[in-house]
Chain A
């Protein structure tokens, strides 16, 4: 296991254990903004978006984003992230980047849930930033689960995943994956998951 992967894996295991014992921490970790800095959102359009040097070793990631229309407010967007492997960097770059679930499994995709777009239930963003001083690519989600009307203000679960390589770990994992590094529930209530990301992490609102 190389140092970079160790640096990410150890906190990921510790933090995801916390995330597993309860859905998310009750509040933002005190050191969140100290450890996670220089966040800059990456705009993701429908189709393919390339993130250059996504993991700091020269390899690009590609995000495939498609829309699952429903002719109602219950349509959603689906994201699949792919990369070439380190072992075969010249082979086609379509290896899926797994996404760690709360129960330590891996998803192959992640979906948002914009509802009317003024009351998003789940927002999905990608960002470049630094974790403990090391530049990386991050997947960030904000999920609201209001009891009644969708627009009712509710606490929001924020999950932050960092991109790490796991090619030296044997079977059962994707070569690269997004590991959960922060997971908490906002103290403040929000009527739109986009507002939660703006308020908590300063991620800009989507364009109208």
Chain B
């Protein structure tokens, strides 16, 4: 059932870049959202997929000496097949940007000044259709003019899934798109979009 939902979600997200508005059942299906803080460095998310395995989020910063620096997030897990050896705890969790496209092995944010974020990346624990899982959430603004200009934001929500029983070309675990929509409201900061649309708290400071 879980896999079916994932596939349905992928098709939905892939048939268009994002649906024109939030799915009407978004807050019915996705509930009890609790953000996981991922400061710079390594953050462990225990029992990330409900089978005892933890995920690690490696967050580093690509400084640029101006407002165009950005964060790089790479996620790793122990595969189910090799859950014992420490060395195998560093299998990258792919990010499926498209239904049948390649997997990205990193995701980046784009905070600009920090007051007018163009892209934010968050991790949350929540329930999808009643089942607890770990989710990657992104919000992207693309203003045609100045960075703080209010503009609609594209929200993408990915669920963490295991794919070790599938054929070549996939990572053992990956974040699969389950919701993708464009906000009806315009925002000057992608953080505000996630606060308003999903109730995710603003960054500290």
Contacts and interface: CB of A to CB of B under 8 A. Distances in A.
Nearest to A173: B65
Interface residues of B, number: 35
A59 B89 CA distance: 27
Given A108-B72, A172-B65, A68 B90 contact: no
Contacts of B90: 46-47, 65-67
B74 A69 contact: no
Contacts of A175: 63
A64 interface: yes
11 contacts: A47-B86, A47-B87, A66-B91, A68-B92, A68-B94, A69-B171, A71-B166, A74-B168, A80-B72, A96-B60, A108-B62
A169 B42 CA distance: 29
B172 A69 contact: yes
A164 B159 CA distance: 40
Interface of A: 45-48, 64-72, 74, 78, 80, 82, 85, 92, 94-96, 98, 108-109, 169-175
Nearest to A166: B65
Nearest to A111: B105
B40 A94 contact: yes
Given A66-B76, A66-B91, A80-B74, A95 B105 contact: no
B79 interface: yes
A93 to B, nearest CB: 8
